[in-house]
Amino acid sequence: MSKIFVDACLRKTTPYTPVWMMRQAGRYLPEYMAVRNEMGSFLNLCHAPERAAEVTIQPLDIVGVDAAILFSDILVIPDEMGMDLSFVKGEGPKFADPIKTEADLDRLIGGEEAASKLTYVYETIKLLKEQLPEDKALIGFTGAPWTLATYMIEGQGTKTYNICKKMMYSNPELLHKILRKVTDVVKIYMEKQIEAGADVVQIFDSWAAAIEPSKYDEFSWKYMVEIAEYLKEKYPEIPVIMFPKGISAFIERGLVYGNFDVFGVDWGTPMAMAKEKLGDKYVLQGNMEPCRLYSKEETTKCVEAIQEIMEGEGHIFNLGHGILPDVPVENAKHFVSECQRVSKK
Ligand code: 1CP
């Protein structure tokens, strides 16, 4: 059976525009919270394939999306490279020993050795392939090397990125060495996700906008493209989605290039502009402002406006970034059913 989500990514004709939501599993779903609390912590849940598969499937049944996104986190990659990840309650992710020097980087494992440690991710994917309805697609994912590097260098989330930017401008060689090592792990990690059964893969560059436009290609986009092109060469039938958040100014300047299928448009980028600049080349994903989910009326208006722009074009409905924990489940369901209503042919 064909999966409409995969077909839409590859520009094949579909009965309606498929929809999924970034961070669709998670704290807004009481069913997710119940499993997480039972497991004691978020990381325990990531490490338990059967439970991770269970929370991956929850939003399909509850809100009716067309694709499941693997339940995991981008930060398991540096964790398995040897960086000792923990999630501190109320504070988010933390790495005990952030990378400051080349010696710190050399202590981390790389390539196949690191990618092979993520067995619980591949196990989760294998279970999901058995459990998912045949018409639903499974999306595997990774963080972009730059976004991962921000956590590896800062040791946690940051508002200013001052430590990694100090490295960018005063020791760019070390930053490139970090990005190279992460890129080499990610290529194999994504390949292993595909071999385990992922139907689609997405590269999240959540912190793209932290880089000034003239440096973005050098420190992020070219590494993302390297990963995408490596995968497209080996697996031409597996769609690759790129999501660089907050770079609308660069689309304008034609920086977006590379062999991939879908460009994820964030909520700050006008969809009409993305269509004009990139719509011929890539299927566009997005891009409702996630906070519209607080109002059903505002959700409907936005979904209709996006459909008006993207009607007849290559498109996948999604939020323009992750869903927030206090969104009522009913409103998330409304978003999905409205996307399906407006795009039914
Ligand atoms: O249960 C909890 O309290 C943990 C919250 C949580 C969840 C549900 C974290 C911690 N990660 C996740 C799951 C997750 N993370 C998924 C699962 C699939 C789904 O969407 O349902 C995905 C795709 C991610 C990816 C991720 N993690 C990104 C990229 C996407 C984005 O939202 O921009 C980033 C930047 C992270 C880092 C991370 N993990 C968790 C938190 C709280 C953060 C962000 C911290 C920060 O703001 O710096």
* Of 70, 64, 66, residue with least CA distance to 25: 70
What is the pLDDT of the chain when averaged over all its residues?
A: 96
Does 116 score more than 80 pLDDT? yes
* Of 70, 192, 76, residue with least CA distance to 141: 70
**Does residue 36's CB lie within 6 angstroms of at least one atom of ligand 1?**
yes
Structure tokens at 224: 């993302």
Q: Is-catalytic flag, 27?
A: yes
**Does residue 35's CB lie within 6 angstroms of at least one atom of ligand 1?**
no
User: How far, in Å, CA of 127 to CA of 196, rounded?
Assistant: 9
**Does residue 216's CB lie within 6 angstroms of at least one atom of ligand 1?**
no
Residue 345 pLDDT: 67
Atom nearest to 55 CA in ligand 1: 21
pLDDT digits (tens, 9 = 90+) for 44-72: 999 999 999 999 999 998 999 999 999 99
Does 176 score more than 80 pLDDT? yes
Does 136 score more than 80 pLDDT? yes
Task: Answer whether 200's CB lies under 8 Å from 241's CB.
Answer: yes
Q: Does domain 4-343 have CATH number 1.10.357.10?
A: no
Residue 313 pLDDT: 95
- In a 10 Å sphere around its CB, with 0-12 CB exposed, 13-18 middle and 19+ buried, how is residue 109 labelled? middle
Of the pLDDT bands very low, low, confident and very high (cuts 50, 70, 90), residue 249 is confident
Q: How confident is the model over 11-30, as a mean pLDDT?
A: 93
- Percentage of the chain with pLDDT > 70? 100
Q: Which residue, judged by its Cα, is nearest atom 22 of ligand 1?
A: 73
Q: Is-catalytic flag, 151?
A: yes
Of the pLDDT bands very low, low, confident and very high (cuts 50, 70, 90), residue 134 is very high
Atom nearest to 73 CA in ligand 1: 15
Strands 92-95 and 85-88 come out as antiparallel
User: How far, in Å, CA of 277 to CA of 270, rounded?
Assistant: 11
Q: How confident is the model over 73-98, as a mean pLDDT?
A: 94
Residue 254 pLDDT: 84
Task: Answer whether 321's CB lies under 8 Å from 202's CB.
Answer: no
Give the start-to-end residue ranges of the domains of the chain.
4-343
Instruction: Evaluate the CA torsion angle 319, 320, 323, 324 in order and state its sign.
Output: negative
Residue 224 pLDDT: 98
Residue 86 pLDDT: 95
Q: How confident is the model over 79-84, as a mean pLDDT?
A: 97
Residue 24 pLDDT: 87
Q: Which of 7, 11, 16, 23 is catalytic?
A: 23
**Does residue 73's CB lie within 6 angstroms of at least one atom of ligand 1?**
yes
Q: How confident is the model over 37-50, as a mean pLDDT?
A: 96
DSSP H helices in 253-320: 271-278, 296-310
Atom nearest to 92 CA in ligand 1: 42
End-to-end CA distance of the chain: 20
CA of 184 to the centre of ligand 1 (A): 22
